[in-house]
Amino acid sequence: MSLLKSLQRELTCVEVPWTPTEDPESARLIQSIVLDEETDVRADGRVQSHFAWYVEAMEEVGANVRPVRALVSELGRGCPFSEALRSSGLPLASRAFGQSTAEFLARPLHVRAAVFFHGREEIIPGMFLPIVDSLEQGGLACDALRAYLVRHVEIDGGNHGPLAERMLTRLYRDDEALRREAEVAALESLAARERLWDAIADACE
């Protein structure tokens, strides 16, 4: 979400007085993602952020959500992110992943956009579909989690990919150096995610 909001801040107008954006196609893509992530409509009619939905899903399966609630609480009180992360009680691998994401926030726009789409949006359908299948086969009572995963597959498996590709092409401005810089960063973000998932797999053994 922090990566997404950083893109929204630069690719759309969030200032007063309002002025038109130079790239309305990118602005529309970013705004549509923000709309779903911050204020999606659940099957029962509730309007909820995907973060709140995911926390609810974790509670449903008995996960300990106190550390992430502590993180949000500290951030709400104005605590710097790195400090709030350290004091949250989150597992070391989760803190490392959060810190790696935070470090991308200081990078140029084309880098952040590539990290967000290649390291997040682009991989979601392929990452979540096997989990949905295994949950169904295992018979685990986790309606909220399954609905959350399916919803992300629906959203990210649509037209976001082609639109994001066009947006990145515009941000690279036919400059191969900018493209290489962004792609290296995207690979770094994928490696950070891989380390997180390896740690989760190790913890489950």
Would you state the pLDDT for residue 130? Answer: 86
CA distance 64 to 125: 26
What's the domain count of the chain? Answer: 1
Ramachandran bin of 101, using left for φ above 0, alpha for ψ from -120 to 50, beta for the remaining angles: alpha
Range of the structural domain that residue 122 is part of: 2-204
Sequential pLDDT tens for the chain (205 residues): 999 999 999 999 999 999 999 999 999 999 999 999 999 999 999 999 999 999 999 999 899 999 999 999 999 999 999 999 999 999 999 999 999 999 999 999 999 999 999 988 788 777 887 887 887 788 788 899 999 998 988 887 677 778 888 999 999 999 999 999 999 999 999 999 999 999 999 998 7
Would you state the pLDDT for residue 178? Answer: 98
Residue 41, beta-bridge partner list: 47
Helix 176-204 to helix 160-172 angle, to the nearest 10 degrees? 140
CA distance 183 to 6: 18
**Domain CATH for 127:** 1.20.910.10
CA distance 106 to 177: 18
CA distance 85 to 71: 6
What is the longest distance spanned by two Cα atoms in the chain?
Answer: 55
Would you state the pLDDT for residue 25? Answer: 95
Would you state the pLDDT for residue 152? Answer: 85
Pairing, β 40-41 against β 47-48: antiparallel
Assessment of whether the complete model's pTM goes beyond 0.75: yes
